[in-house]
Chains A and B, each alone.
Chain A
């Protein structure tokens, strides 16, 4: 005696339009929530990628190769004596779009009567331009010459601390690879403001040849940085390089291994997003539950009639869930439509956050340009769809089950 199926769609659709004003208000509220949720999730994806790309394009790259243990202590003893075989291996990778051999070390910088610790980044100036945007962050002077001429470009805060400006000379002291102390005077040819507080305070950019001489390095380097065409290909290239490189002597690291703090920052960003959206979801869920409860309370007697006609309790529950599903679906169509339209606009044009007075704050997170872009993707769409439809379902579950459990006789007598 299974009987026929309730005309759920027809009945539910007509039921939700009985009280047009209430349905429009509910759909409006959930549409707004759907719009905010999807657009914000795309903005978070975009901000995440922008932040990671900024970091990669300033300092870390996507993949780094060092002598084993270099990341732990940045010891000048841990070097790549002959970078050429590594460069050959990198050149074989089709997803690699750029690489740069570097030397990184710490130095004591002194000028006038001031001194400060500095972070030395020695590069081939022209090649470095393909992996890093530091050359675009000049705030005064010029970038390094193509050849080694004892020139340095320094973070503008470090310059202030040392009391130097473009054209002044700074003495640098480092520990050399042979155990001696290397010291030399360099001319400041430019100041940079890369939008990262730590680099502003300590960066000393110099020619690779000058550093090799200062550190008694010969032709050695201590880092090769690689840029990949897409973040999604980083692991693939990393795996491939690990297969070609003797990992007992060298380390091949991805950006998240090099900068775990970046991963934490990223996780924190997502945690904040989830917290915010959960609060939104609870508010929206209460709205849906209220609407469904009101709507079912008004029709208790009608449900009694349906039950008297032989509609099963489960069918009544399904009818209410279908009504809620329709309200959620309608809201999602409107909200997601608007979010997609805006998402594509902000993906192409970005949103300048300067109007919110945020550049200094954002500089700490590698977003010195203060422009955020959305990233329209299926992941965000599917997550948002599941969250909003799931929220609608859960919010209507209680009223639906409660109504399904009504005793027909009590429902028929309900006033």
Chain B
């Protein structure tokens, strides 16, 4: 299987008067098509892992190689380029750009990738329709959409550029059960149809149950990495 991410000896230590080892010598590979959940109790390092993996936070030591780019050794601009071209994000609180409509939020991800206007409008529409956002909803700004609709737009934005890796931090935390299950079905479908690689940090058993691979963290260290479905 093709390795999308190679992580070696990743350690993150926070120093706030006293030292906290948020990640402790994590080494693992992530493969194309993985549908992977990161689980563990609060404070186990799930969010830190996603932040460091995405280059939003800087590790204390170790390396992260995403499709050949070692983001721990590159400049802030170069890491931004990696995020733009190879990563997609789904945040817990949706985090859409409030002055843009749903369509423009998705289009924005393609603008950053330099996609031509006609193509990006077509792609943005197609992906929004695929996640259940119709033409009327596409024109609305985030504050005129429900939480579930906003999260669907956020998913569409994350995947529209067909990134190598989609990172989702507690994606169902702010959704009711129906919306949460709908979102999971949609992501699973994208995982299968587009061979998209998903990594979730989650507490939500509904997410854990759908994952194909589960990594458990405790005190910043990987205590298990198991295949849980097919």
Residues of chain A having any CB pair with chain B under 8 Å: 1-7, 11, 14-15, 18, 301-302, 305-314, 407-409, 412
Contact = CB atoms under 8 A, between A and B. Distances in A.
B113 interface: yes
A412 B91 CA distance: 10
B56 interface: yes
A4 B112 CA distance: 4
B149 interface: no
Contacts of B99: 11, 14-15, 18
Given A4-B113, A7-B111, A302-B98, A311 B91 contact: no
A283 B85 CA distance: 44
Given A306-B97, A412-B56, A311 B84 contact: yes
Contacts of A15: 99
B109 A309 contact: yes
A312 B97 contact: no
A301 B93 CA distance: 11
Interface in B113-140: 113-115
B73 to A, nearest CB: 16
Contacts of A5: 111, 114
Given A4-B111, A14-B99, A302-B97, 20 more contacts: A1-B78, A1-B82, A1-B84, A2-B81, A2-B114, A4-B110, A4-B113, A4-B115, A7-B111, A14-B100, A15-B99, A18-B98, A18-B99, A302-B98, A305-B95, A307-B83, A309-B112, A310-B83, A312-B80, A412-B56
19 contacts: A1-B85, A2-B81, A3-B84, A3-B85, A3-B112, A3-B114, A11-B99, A14-B100, A302-B98, A307-B56, A308-B54, A308-B56, A308-B91, A309-B157, A310-B81, A310-B83, A310-B87, A312-B80, A407-B57
Interface residues of B, number: 30
Residue from B54, B78, B81, B99 having most chain A Cβ neighbours under 10 A: B99
Contacts of A313: 76-77, 80
Nearest to B54: A308
Nearest to A17: B99
A309 B85 contact: no
A370 to B, nearest CB: 54
B80 A310 contact: yes
A305 B91 contact: yes
Interface string B155-180: 00100000000000000000000000
Contacts of A301: 95
Nearest to B116: A4
Contacts of A1: 78, 81-82, 84-85
A309 B56 contact: no
A308 B111 contact: no
A4 B111 CA distance: 5
Nearest to A2: B114
Given A302-B97, A308-B83, A311-B84, A7 B108 contact: yes
Interface in B35-91: 51, 54, 56-57, 76-78, 80-85, 87, 89, 91
Contacts of B114: 2-5
Q: Across the A-B interface, give the 10 residue pairs with the lowest CB-CB distance, nearest first.
A: A310-B84, A4-B114, A14-B99, A1-B81, A310-B83, A409-B57, A409-B56, A408-B56, A305-B95, A312-B80
Contact of B108 (A2, A3, A309, A412): A309
Contacts of B80: 307, 310-313
Contacts of B56: 307-308, 407-409, 412
